[in-house]
Chains A and B, each alone.
Chain A
């Protein structure tokens, strides 16, 4: 199956700093990638949809200036949490769509962000 690699798998940062999370599709080109956030014992919540070469589409309530998404190539999307605060501590997961029109979503292994 298609492989989506997410890096780093965990990160600890100081409050006020920025953190970048990478999501790569290793063996396929992904025109669309998705970024999710998951709190303990909660379901995945879609934050934004990232399309290669265009601006990301953010879900209602997600601050686009705080969660910067860049999808510069067909195999890489990045999520940057700017000026992180402790309440941004969460599990962030990306997924990639194999082909346009497909509902198949391959997930990365997730990134545990802890802001201290």
Chain B
């Protein structure tokens, strides 16, 4: 069964600090992995996408890593801002035949950035 596990479940940090969120997955056959940011009461917004051959990808203050061998990914946020407070969701895509893909969502890490 395809699964995506995220840790920690929630995290509280002070503004300006860095943090790292973890994602472990058992999804096969692997296609790609995305990190989404979901503000409370809003839909998810894509931050990064990583394919099998990519190890690191950055998007501003967000840096995602992928270890396809251990099936782990991380999202590092540097110099956190109050607006970073949100749920961060790891989504892994698996091919399901032809041009079809199936997405498996993690439960997300709820990040709270305090002043």
- The B contact surface, by secondary structure, is strand
One of A11-19, A66-74, A78-86, A106-114 at the interface:
A106-114
Specify which of B31, B106, B110 is in contact with A41 (CB 8 Å cutoff).
B110
Q: How many A-B residue pairs have CB under 8 A?
A: 47
Specify which of A41, A45, A109 is in contact with B43 (CB 8 Å cutoff).
A109
**B45 and A107 form a contact (CB under 8 A):** yes
**A107 and B107 form a contact (CB under 8 A):** no
B105 within 8 Å of A (CB atoms): yes
**A43 and B108 form a contact (CB under 8 A):** yes
Query: Cβ of B36: which chain A residues have Cβ within 8 Å of it?
Result: 107
Cα(A42)–Cα(B106), bound, Å? 8
Interface size class of B (residues with CB under 8 A): 20 to 34
Query: Cβ of B105: which chain A residues have Cβ within 8 Å of it?
Result: 43-45
In the complex, chain B residues 93-115 whose Cβ is within 8 Å of any chain A Cβ = 93, 99, 101, 103, 105-108, 110
Query: Cβ of A6: which chain B residues have Cβ within 8 Å of it?
Result: 43
Query: Cβ of B106: which chain A residues have Cβ within 8 Å of it?
Result: 43
**A103 and B101 form a contact (CB under 8 A):** yes
**A103 and B31 form a contact (CB under 8 A):** yes
Please list the residues of chain B having a beta carbon within 8 angstroms of any beta carbon in chain A.
Answer: 4, 31-32, 34, 36, 41-46, 49, 89, 93, 99, 101, 103, 105-108, 110
Please list the residues of chain A having a beta carbon within 8 angstroms of any beta carbon in chain B.
Answer: 1, 4, 6, 9, 41-46, 91, 93, 95, 100-101, 103-110, 112
Q: What are 9 A-to-B residue pairs whose CB atoms are below 8 Å?
A: A1-B46, A41-B107, A43-B106, A44-B105, A95-B43, A100-B99, A105-B103, A110-B41, A110-B43
